[in-house]
Chains A and B, each alone.
Chain A
Amino acid sequence: GNSVTQMEGPVTLSEEAFLTINCTYTATGYPSLFWYVQYPGEGLQLLLKATKADDKGSNKGFEATYRKETTSFHLEKGSVQVSDSAVYFCALSENEGTYKYIFGTGTRLKVLA
């Protein structure tokens, strides 16, 4: 079945460091791919998305490119801030049937001042 695999956390970085959170997926067909962010005590918020191969999603300095050849959707940010501390979830939406989302297990990011 379809699945999403994320790198284990927690990831601890100093402010202004470069961030990469790896995400790979297994899917039949051509899913849409998403990154969601969950700040402490809050619900999940859509961070960015890509709906087809080679698309780049971007938002708030974060970006991720849909790589069909490597089945990956890695999240990157050039300079993290303390306010970026949160849990990040990679997800895919199946492109047929119910279009349900399948989430990865999440990666906790902690940014130190």
Chain B
Amino acid sequence: EAGVAQSPRYKIIEKRQSVAFWCNPISGHATLYWYQQILGQGPKLLIQFQNNGVVDDSQLPKDRFSAERLKGVDSTLKIQPAKLEDSAVYLCASSFSRDGYTFGSGTRLTVV
């Protein structure tokens, strides 16, 4: 089966600019996650979707981050405006059940 697709792979922006990331999960996976992985740290959940509804966004900085999952398939994560501390790898994952995510390769964001 095809994996979780993410784009772009890399992005460099200046602080206060906006950026968007895209994720296409594995077909049939109802649950989709966005994680933020800062260098040297483990991934931290930003938001979890079940189909096109938000299940958990308790750690999403809602003043600057937003995410949507239209039609319960693809998802986009947006940051506006970006800060230096947003530099990280943004990982998308999807799952059919709770016993194992499949991760995409991630988008490495550098804010300068």
The answer to the question of A103 belonging to the interface, with a C-beta cut-off of 8 Å to chain B, is yes
- B42 close to chain A: CB less than 8 A: yes
B 85-108 to A, binary, CB cutoff 8 A, 1 in contact else 0 = 000000101000011111111100
**What is the distance, in angstroms, from A15's C-beta to the closest C-beta of chain B?**
26
Interface check B14, CB cutoff 8 A: no
Contacts of A45 on B, CB cut-off 8 Å? 103
Q: Which of chain A's residues have a CB closer than 8 A to the CB of B42?
A: 4, 89, 91, 103-106
Q: Count A/B pairs, Cβ under 8 Å.
A: 54
The answer to whether A44 and B43 touch across the interface, beta carbons within 8 angstroms, is: yes
Main secondary structure of the interface of B (DSSP, over half): loop
| Subset of 30 A-B contacts with CB under 8 Å | A32-B98, A34-B100, A43-B91, A43-B105, A43-B106, A44-B93, A46-B100, A46-B102, A49-B99, A89-B42, A91-B42, A93-B98, A93-B99, A97-B56, A98-B55, A98-B56, A99-B98, A100-B33, A100-B45, A100-B48, A100-B56, A101-B45, A101-B101, A103-B42, A103-B43, A103-B44, A104-B42, A105-B41, A105-B42, A106-B40
Residues of B with Cβ closer than 8 Å to A? Answer: 4, 33, 40-45, 48, 55-56, 91, 93, 98-106
